[in-house]
């Protein structure tokens, strides 16, 4: 056990945010913390890290117990960085105690050379500590983590202040990973990360030697990483074993069971109340009625299930079927800005969309995805041609809600578009997307991003478009709303063209992909899962190629050294032994990497990631294999030198 929370309560403005929350985090736990916006997730993290105190009403409330060995690392957005430091210097601060120990070892070595052996015991102690903590490879660790988080070698000497907010967040994550606390707490770590970086972070955290507690709306991330999921709902925390998909299934099963138990109890209570009402005043049955009334008072009432009450009911329909060929784009450029400031992101894009296809557009931030959606709708000027077929009716979701009149209320916005609808019909439509209460009288300019998205979905439901164009439709939505929109898109039989970073949505909806890259594009005529397989294969090839180049360079360096050095018989013999050992190490590295690849595939299988003990065993095995590879690389470098 690393930390235990018992009976945690928290009130804000008289409203209870956390209600008797208890949670135990053990070593190697990978826990996802989920719930609607404002449910108390961040509050719980702040209580856990000590920045907020729980409310206590008795000695048994608000107990937070840490094991003596527990070290906590908490990701704070753009916090904890020295803006004036370079990237490499900022990362090296993590290893300052290690560097001091190494400096002291060098100092003692000089003392020993002068004949002073008084610090021999200290030397032995420090040397053992440095070696046990892999202290001579700190720069290798730093470069490995920074490279995984998307920072190139050229950026290591840049000053922190010169990076964007998103880049600083990635630096914070990198520094936190290097600190290696045995309880790592991350709040929305995948924000500002591209697919490749997220995939690297997933793999890194899956083999992380410590517990991880994550707040995230990235369900794909939770699916691949978590061994359990904790949901906070109406202040109550419920823990489910397994990843996010397992959590969804179990929650559905629990809802069905609780609803059945609630309905059965309500029937029982109704019968007992009816009996009491009919028999309490009769002399012959008064005692029995009083007995039933006492039983009623003692019944522990089952709370009415509330999951179903929160579910949005979104559906998109259309009446007119378009032709088979819906859209043809030929040699269109993707450009932004005007006049002298105009910048071309991609010179030429060509693709076709057929009826019923669901096409996902992916790529890094700022690569031109949203611009492409606007170009194909004729909102922006472009070269080339964009041709829509006849009988096409487009319904467009803009993630910023720019097509809304921000001075109108939510009700007025819908009335202005559909004046024939009565107030009751408008309220009913809004209720379907869970837009209820006084919120319908707010101006669209002040509602939240999630509320704005729900209003746009309500409008789209009335448009009956046979082509949906969606720009980041799940941004700002809570988990329940994301599931509702995904179900609606999955059941929709028309054509969908959408931009998204939501891998769960892409995996569930897209049947083909268009990937925008730096200055170009690629078409993938398969779904997102296959795309990830291809991407991982390409990354593995790049890694093997880089390692081969490194080994080739080392071999060339060795060859040059050999040409300059006279070798006697003993030297040649030693050199042959060294080469044999290098070949053996290279072969062993390849074999170890193959084992890691096999284990990584096994971990992604449901029967493994839902089995806590088996998952941990395979993660430990991967970690041991990686350590062995690192040791072999170090030996190779030493042999080469």
Model confidence at 403: pLDDT above 90: no
Who's near 528: CB < 8 A, 6+ residues apart?
A: 360, 503, 506, 507, 510, 513
With vertex at residue 556, the alpha carbon angle to CA 553 and CA 560, rounded to the nearest 5 degrees, is 140
Superfamily of domain 78-179: P-loop containing nucleotide triphosphate hydrolases (3.40.50.300)
Which of the four CATH numbers 3.40.50.300, 3.90.400.10, 3.40.640.10, 1.10.10.10 does domain 325-525 have? 3.40.50.300
**151 burial type by CB count under 10 A (0-12 exposed, 13-18 middle, 19+ buried):** buried
| pLDDT band at residue 78 using 50, 70 and 90 as cut-offs | very low
Among 102-111, 459-468, 544-553, name the most confident range.
Answer: 459-468
Domains of the chain, residue spans: 78-179, 247-310, 325-525, 554-640
- Of 31, 33, 24, 30, give the one whose Cα is nearest residue 2: 24
pTM of the model: 0.72
Task: Render pLDDT for 19-48 as a digit per residue (tens, 0 to 9).
Answer: 999 999 999 999 999 987 778 898 999 999
Which is higher by pLDDT, 333 or 634?
333
Please compute Rg for the chain using Cα positions. 31
Q: Quote the pLDDT of residue 555.
A: 76
Report whether 168 contacts 151 (CB < 8 A).
no
| Antiparallel, parallel or unpaired: β 211-215 and 30-34 | parallel
The answer to which of 208-217, 295-304, 351-360, 506-515 has the lowest mean pLDDT is 295-304
């Amino acid at each position: 056990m690393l930390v235990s929370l018992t009976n945690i309560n928290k009130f804000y403005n008289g409203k209870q945010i956390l209600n008797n929350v208890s949670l135990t985090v053990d070593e190697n736990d990978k826990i996802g913390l989920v719930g609607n916006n404002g449910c108390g997730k961040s509050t719980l993290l702040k209580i856990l890290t000590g920045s907020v105190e729980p409310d206590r009403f008795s000695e048994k409330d608000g107990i937070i117990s840490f094991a003596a060995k527990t070290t906590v690392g908490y990701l704070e957005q753009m916090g904890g960085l020295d803006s004036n430091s370079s990237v490499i210097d900022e990362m090296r601060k993590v290893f300052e105690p290690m560097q001091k120990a190494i400096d002291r070892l060098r100092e003692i070595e000089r003392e020993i050379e002068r004949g002073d052996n008084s610090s021999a015991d200290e030397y032995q102690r420090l040397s053992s500590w440095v070696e046990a903590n892999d202290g001579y490879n700190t720069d290798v660790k730093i470069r490995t983590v920074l490279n995984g988080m998307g920072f190139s070698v050229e950026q290591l000497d840049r000053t922190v202040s010169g990076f964007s907010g998103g880049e600083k967040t990635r630096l914070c994550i990198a520094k936190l990973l290097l600190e290696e606390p045995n309880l790592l707490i991350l709040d929305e770590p995948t924000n500002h990360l591209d697919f490749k970086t997220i995939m690297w972070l997933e793999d890194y955290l899956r083999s992380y030697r410590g517990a991880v507690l994550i707040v995230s709306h990235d369900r794909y991330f939770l699916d691949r990483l978590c061994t359990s999921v904790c949901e906070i709902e109406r202040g109550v925390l419920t823990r489910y074993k397994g990843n996010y998909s397992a959590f969804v299934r179990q929650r559905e099963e629990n809802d069905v069971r609780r609803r059945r138990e609630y309905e059965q109890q309500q029937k029982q209570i109704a019968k007992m109340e009816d009996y009491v009402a009919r028999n309490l005043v009769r002399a012959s049955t008064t005692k029995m009625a009083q007995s039933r009334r006492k039983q009623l008072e003692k019944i522990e009432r089952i709370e009415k299930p509330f999951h179903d009450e929160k579910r949005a009911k979104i559906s998109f329909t259309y009446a007119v079927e378009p032709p088979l060929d819906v859209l043809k784009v030929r040699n269109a450029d993707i450009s932004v800005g005007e006049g002298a400031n105009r910048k071309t992101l991609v010179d030429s894009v060509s693709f076709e969309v057929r009826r019923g296809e669901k096409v996902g557009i992916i790529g890094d931030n700022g690569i031109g995805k949203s611009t492409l959606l606007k170009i194909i709708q004729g909102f922006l000027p472009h070269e080339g041609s964009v041709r829509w077929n006849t009988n096409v009716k487009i319904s467009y979701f803009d993630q910023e809600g720019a097509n809304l009149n921000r001075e109108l209320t939510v009700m007025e916005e819908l009335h202005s578009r559909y004046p024939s609808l009565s107030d009751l019909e408008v309220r009913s439509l809004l209720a379907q997307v869970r837009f209820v209460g006084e919120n319908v009288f707010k101006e669209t300019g002040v509602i939240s991003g999630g509320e704005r998205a729900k209003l746009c979905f309500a409008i789209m439901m009335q448009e009956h478009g046979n082509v949906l164009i969606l720009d980041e439709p799940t941004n700002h939505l809570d988990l329940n709303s994301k599931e509702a929109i995904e179900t609606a898109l999955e059941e929709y039989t028309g054509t969908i063209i959408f931009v998204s970073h939501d891998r769960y949505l892409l995996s569930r909806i897209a049947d083909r992909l268009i990937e925008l890259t730096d200055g170009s594009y690629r078409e993938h005529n398969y779904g997102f899962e296959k795309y990830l397989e291809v991407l991982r294969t390409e990354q593995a090839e790049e890694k093997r190629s880089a390692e081969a180049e490194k080994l080739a360079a080392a071999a060339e360096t060795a060859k040059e050294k050999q040409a300059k050095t006279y070798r006697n018989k003993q030297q040649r013999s030693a050199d042959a032994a060294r080469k044999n050992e290098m070949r053996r190490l290279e072969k062993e590295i390849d074999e170890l990497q193959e084992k890691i690849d096999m284990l990584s595939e096994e971990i992604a299988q449901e029967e493994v990631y839902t089995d806590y003990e088996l998952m941990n065993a395979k993660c430990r095995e991967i970690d041991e294999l990686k350590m062995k590879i690192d040791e072999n690389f170090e030996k190779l470098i030493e042999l080469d030198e």
